[in-house]
A and B are shown apart, each in its own frame.
Chain A
Amino acid sequence: KNQVEQSPQSLIILEGKNCTLQCNYTVSPFSNLRWYKQDTGRGPVSLTIMTFSENTKSNGRYTATLDADTKQSSLHITASQLSDSASYICVVRESYNTDKLIFGTGTRLQVFP
C-alpha cells in the first residue's frame, strides 16, 4: 500500500533555531513530491515541488531535499520565525497512470519566542 509517513508528529523549537522535518514514502512509481505549509484554520500553501530527478529545492528559508533511492525527503527550516508555526505536510504524487496524491499526516511545528 502506498504510504507517506512523517516525523516527528510535533516539534517545539525556539525562534531563530533551525529544524528538519522528515518524510518517508513507499509510493512507487512517483512523479513528484511536494511540501505544504498549513496554518491553523486555513488551506495548505505550496512550499516546494520536486520531481524524482531533483535532489534539492529552496524557497526562501525552506529547503527540501529528496533521495529517491531511499525514498526519503526532508524539509529544513533555517532561522525559524514565529510565523513558521504551522503544520507541514509531505505529499507524493503517484505516476502518470494514476495521478493520485498521497498525503502524510503532517508535522505540527510550534516556534516560541
Chain B
Amino acid sequence: KAGVTQTPRYLIKTRGQQVTLSCSPISGHRSVSWYQQTPGQGLQFLFEYFSETQRNKGNFPGRFSGRQFSNSRSEMNVSTLELGDSALYLCASSLAAGGSTDTQYFGPGTRLTVL
C-alpha cells in the first residue's frame, strides 16, 4: 500500500506570492492533518480534515487555509507569503479522526523557502 505522498517536495517562492501544497493520504484513510515544522518552533498543528470537513484548526493566521476533496486528497494554501513561512510542511493521514488512537502516517513533507 502506498504511503502518504506530498507534492511538490521543494518549493521556492518570493514574499507576497501564494502557494498551494498537495497531500494524498494512504488509500482508505479519511483524516488528513497538516503541520508546519521550523527549527525554532518544532512541529505545529495547522488543521485537520475528515470527510471534507475541517474538524480542527491551529493558531495560524487566515492566510493559511486548506480543503479536502471527496477522494480524501487535501490541499493547503498560503497566501501573501512572508519570510517566516519558510518551513517544512508535513501532511499526515489516519483512518479515523478525533481522539482515536489510530496511527498517523506522515508524508515526506514539502520544503518551502520564501525569499
Contact = CB atoms under 8 A, between A and B. Distances in A.
Interface of A: 31-32, 34, 42-46, 49, 51, 89, 91, 93, 95-96, 98-106
A108 B35 CA distance: 19
Contact of A45 (B42, B44, B106): B106
Contacts of B95: none
A43 B45 contact: no
21 contacts: A32-B99, A32-B101, A42-B108, A42-B109, A44-B90, A44-B106, A46-B103, A49-B101, A49-B103, A89-B42, A89-B43, A91-B43, A93-B99, A95-B99, A98-B56, A99-B48, A99-B99, A101-B45, A103-B35, A104-B42, A106-B42
A89 B107 CA distance: 16
Contacts of B101: 32, 49, 51
Contacts of B87: none
A102 B99 CA distance: 13
A99 B56 contact: yes
Contacts of B108: 42-43
- Ranked 6 nearest A-B pairs via Cβ: A43-B106, A31-B99, A105-B42, A103-B43, A96-B99, A46-B103
Interface string B103-115: 1111111000000
A103 B44 contact: yes
A104 B48 CA distance: 19
Contacts of B109: 42-43
Interface of B: 4, 33, 35, 41-45, 48, 55-56, 58, 90, 92, 97-99, 101, 103-109
Question: Which label, helix, strand, loop or mixed, suits the secondary structure of the A interface?
Answer: strand
A43 B90 contact: yes
B101 to A, nearest CB: 5
Contacts of A106: 42
A76 to B, nearest CB: 20
Contact of B97 (A32, A99, A102): A99
